[in-house]
Amino acid sequence: MSNVMLYVLGESLARATGKNETLCRGLLRLTVMDSVEPLRQAPDPNQALAYMKTMAFEDWKAVIEGAVLSQRLENIRVNKPDDVVARLRQTLVEKQSLLTMTA
């Protein structure tokens, strides 16, 4: 099973920032890895992908609204990172049914 929400949010992030979609998915993946305590020291990136498949709405919301994502957006020189976070939050709300369909 693929991680549908990662792809949906990656596409939304790409549209909001004008950046490459693959870059945006990678940025989200790294943000999850740095935001979730057990994944911070995980030697295998596949652990993060497996974990993301189990993430619920509140888990994704915490990652999107966390300081790690905001800092990463600033690092890649995104104008108005707060607007981008708001767009991701809106996408998450609109697509939250995907989380229950793929769980």
Dump pLDDT digits (tens) for 50-80: 888 889 899 999 999 999 999 999 999 999 9
Give the domain ranges of the chain.
4-102
Tell me if 9 sits within 8 A of 65, measured CB to CB: no
Q: How far is CA 31 from the centre of its chain?
A: 7
Q: How confident is the model at residue 1, as a pLDDT?
A: 38
CA gap 103, 15 in Å, rounded: 26
Give the pLDDT mean for 9-23. 96
Q: How confident is the model at residue 45, as a pLDDT?
A: 75
Q: How confident is the model at residue 96, as a pLDDT?
A: 86
**Local confidence band at 28 (pLDDT 50, 70, 90 cut-offs):** very high
Residue with tokens 């996408």: 91
Rounded (10°) CA dihedral 75, 20, 5, 30: -40
Q: How confident is the model at residue 12, as a pLDDT?
A: 97
